[in-house]
Chains A and B, each alone.
Chain A
Amino acid sequence: MLAQLVVSGIAQGVLYALVALSMTMLYRATTVVNFGHGDLVMGGAFAVYVFVVYLRLPYLAGALIALAVLFGVGVAIHQGLMRRIMTGPHLAIAMMALAVGYALRGGARMLWGREVLPFPRIFPDRAWAIGDVVVTSDNVIVSGTVLGLMVVLLVLFNVTRIGRLLQAVFQSQRGAALIGLNVDGVHRLVWGAAAALAALGGVLLAPITLLYPDMGVWVLVRGFAAMTLGGFGSLPGAVLGGLILGVMELVLGAYLSTAFIDISAYVIVIAVLLLRPDGLFGRQVVVRV
């Protein structure tokens, strides 16, 4: 029973981890917490829906184009909106992120109304039993894609030139600017990449769940919770936070009551922050004077 919960929880948690990781990247590079990130996940799901269902492209091609489109959306959000208010107060940036997400949701609702869209089944419908643990092909494909991608990101981040550029900006925007690095270019790139990673969540979710304009809220809350749980700004923390959250949700739901699934993310975050105000893997925040 517990083993099954852990396996299913991880399959769920990789999606939270993906959202949390992309939000954390964005936060580290630009200090923006994107409260509209869930709606980029929704955007990815609806984009792949358009390409696969309306334009009859194969799933893989549709998925890649959807990611490219959302990359563009991310760059546009930075260029057109965020860049202009970056020097303003935190509250204005938070409001802007919420408003952008709200606009995306409004756009989806205008086009598709309140109906819930089913997506054709793409992944093979299979399941394997290992002992008494059942693993479905959905689990394998989603977790495999996300975990594989994380390995690729880890390598890119530590080996390539762009990776080192990113690390410099993560450490200090001012320092990176002082030594002549193109910080604005990095911001643009990271906005695009973060939006594309969020969209990947949507692309992977689309064949598994139903599509509706508000689907992002649910993901944003979990992603944000995972990010906080892992310690705000920590990349490995975001991934671990997502996995822990996914498992804990199912475990609490199974052993306490299924009613807790809706709020266990919140309960876990409150409990962790009261005990460890900087998250599980976070460092003490330095006070700026």
Chain B
Amino acid sequence: MPGAAPVSVVRVPTLGRWVFLLVPLLVLPVPFLVNRYIQYVLNLILVYVLVGVGFNIVIGNLGQLAFANVALFGLGAYASGILVVHAGWPWWTTIVPAGLIGALAGILASLPALRRIRLFYLAIMTMAFGELLRWIYIRAEPLTNGSMGLAVPPPVLLGLRLSSDRSKFYVFLVLVVVVVLLTSSLLRSRFGRAFMAIRDNELAAAAMGIPTDRYFVLAFAWSGFVVGVAGAMYTALVGHVTPEAFNLLELILHFAVVMVGGLASLAGSVIGAIVLTTTPELFRSFPGVQELVLSFVIIGVLLFLPRGLVSLLARRWSVFHERYYRE
């Protein structure tokens, strides 16, 4: 926004790095208090935290209408599954490759943006990317087992079989903490500030000497890495990867995680993941009602808390104020 005060002038108390360790420490004993089903939902929440964090970089921080997130998620999931099933790799060695495949796909998705394709044009191109991939998952039967889906054996970590959801929870928790910490560092650095400069005014950012193309590629690549890792976690959790898991409905869910939680807010992505994973689970046995409740939640948040549920926390504790989001 022209004329807005430079961000560095305003000193708002920030969430200290300690929360990234404190919150995970607090949830450590939780798996011993819940049953298997709730444990599964908790694991799913951890997957969607990374889904939301990754998506938020591109739509919240970089401010682009880019909807390739399900494509990135699916590629991560299939990359991990294919490496485990066909190449015989242990699951833990597929986490980084899944992230890298996601990052590559992210870079690919940023190419139209470099051709100055923006807004709704970018939206349909990135959506088309995801649908093309889904078509490929169905056709590439030797690798993906087509629409039947790829059955993946329980994950293995350093020779240990993670067959229980409880053991997966701890592995996922470590992954989420590491990736969120790295993302937080990226967003606080000059790179992250450049993303937000581009979001607020791309022309002004370029005029200030920010190489906008490079930052577009970087933001999409890191977003792809994060979501690709989430894909590998999804494969480990569900053990069965199908093309239908990555359709346009899944995209609405990803989008809602970010919008309900709060744009450009890491804490928001966590809250969004919690709300949007548990709500459908609560109404799983009522077809129709599930969709209605979910859409009422989204509509309610958009109408009454346009900055997402995280703004409820921000009202009480100023540390939750999103320093980087202004309208």
Question: Is A12's beta carbon under 8 Å from chain B?
Answer: no
Interchain nearest-CB distance for B215 vs A (Å): 18
Contact of B263 among A81, A91, A98, A289 (CB under 8 A): A91
Q: Is the CB of B287 within 8 A of A113?
A: yes
- Could you say which residues of chain A place their CB within 8 Å of the CB of B201? 289
Query: Closest residue of chain B to A275, judged by CB?
Result: B115
Bound Cα distance A285, B122 (Å):
13
Q: Is the CB of A109 within 8 A of B291?
A: yes
In A255-285, the 8 Å CB interface with B consists of: 259, 262-263, 265-267, 269-270, 273-274, 277-279, 285
Task: State the interface size on chain A (CB cutoff 8 A).
Answer: 48
Q: Is the CB of B124 within 8 A of A269?
A: yes
Question: Is A232's beta carbon under 8 Å from chain B?
Answer: yes
- Could you say which residues of chain A place their CB within 8 Å of the CB of B88? none
Q: Is the CB of A100 within 8 A of B120?
A: no
Interchain nearest-CB distance for A280 vs B (Å): 13
Bound Cα distance A78, B88 (Å):
54
Contact of A99 among B123, B129, B203, B302 (CB under 8 A): B302
Q: Is the CB of A103 within 8 A of B292?
A: yes
Interchain nearest-CB distance for B295 vs A (Å): 4
Interchain nearest-CB distance for A103 vs B (Å): 4
Q: Is the CB of A99 within 8 A of B299?
A: yes
Contact of A277 among B116, B139, B287, B296 (CB under 8 A): B116
Bound Cα distance A18, B75 (Å):
35
Q: Is the CB of A92 within 8 A of B203?
A: no
Task: State the interface size on chain B (CB cutoff 8 A).
Answer: 45
Q: Is the CB of B289 within 8 A of A110?
A: yes
Interchain nearest-CB distance for B124 vs A (Å): 5
Q: Is the CB of B288 within 8 A of A81?
A: no
SS of A interface (majority): helix
Interchain nearest-CB distance for B262 vs A (Å): 11
Bound Cα distance A217, B251 (Å):
13
Query: Closest residue of chain A to B247, judged by CB?
Result: A217
Bound Cα distance A84, B305 (Å):
12
Question: Is A58's beta carbon under 8 Å from chain B?
Answer: no
- Could you say which residues of chain B place their CB within 8 Å of the CB of A33? 120
Q: Is the CB of B59 within 8 A of A103?
A: no
Q: Is the CB of A106 within 8 A of B291?
A: yes
Bound Cα distance A270, B129 (Å):
9
Q: Is the CB of A228 within 8 A of B121?
A: yes
Contact of A266 among B65, B128, B327 (CB under 8 A): B128
Bound Cα distance A111, B289 (Å):
10
Bound Cα distance A89, B263 (Å):
10
Bound Cα distance A113, B290 (Å):
12
- Could you say which residues of chain A place their CB within 8 Å of the CB of B288? 106-111, 113
- Could you say which residues of chain A place their CB within 8 Å of the CB of B121? 228, 232, 273, 277-279
Bound Cα distance A75, B51 (Å):
35
- Could you say which residues of chain A place their CB within 8 Å of the CB of B117? 273, 277
Q: Is the CB of A114 within 8 A of B287?
A: yes
A-B complex: 4 closest residue pairs judged by Cβ atoms = A110-B288, A106-B291, A266-B128, A109-B288
Interface residues of A (CB under 8 A from B): 33, 81, 84-85, 88-92, 94-96, 98-100, 102-103, 105-111, 113-114, 217, 221, 224-225, 228, 232, 259, 262-263, 265-267, 269-270, 273-274, 277-279, 285, 287, 289
Q: List 14 A-B contacts (CB under 8 A).
A: A90-B65, A90-B119, A96-B302, A98-B252, A99-B256, A99-B295, A102-B291, A102-B298, A106-B290, A108-B288, A217-B248, A221-B248, A228-B121, A279-B121
Contacts A94-B255, A110-B287 aside, 20 further interface pairs with beta carbons under 8 A come to: A89-B263, A89-B327, A91-B65, A96-B302, A98-B255, A98-B256, A98-B298, A99-B302, A100-B295, A103-B291, A103-B296, A107-B292, A110-B286, A110-B288, A224-B124, A225-B128, A266-B132, A269-B124, A273-B121, A289-B201
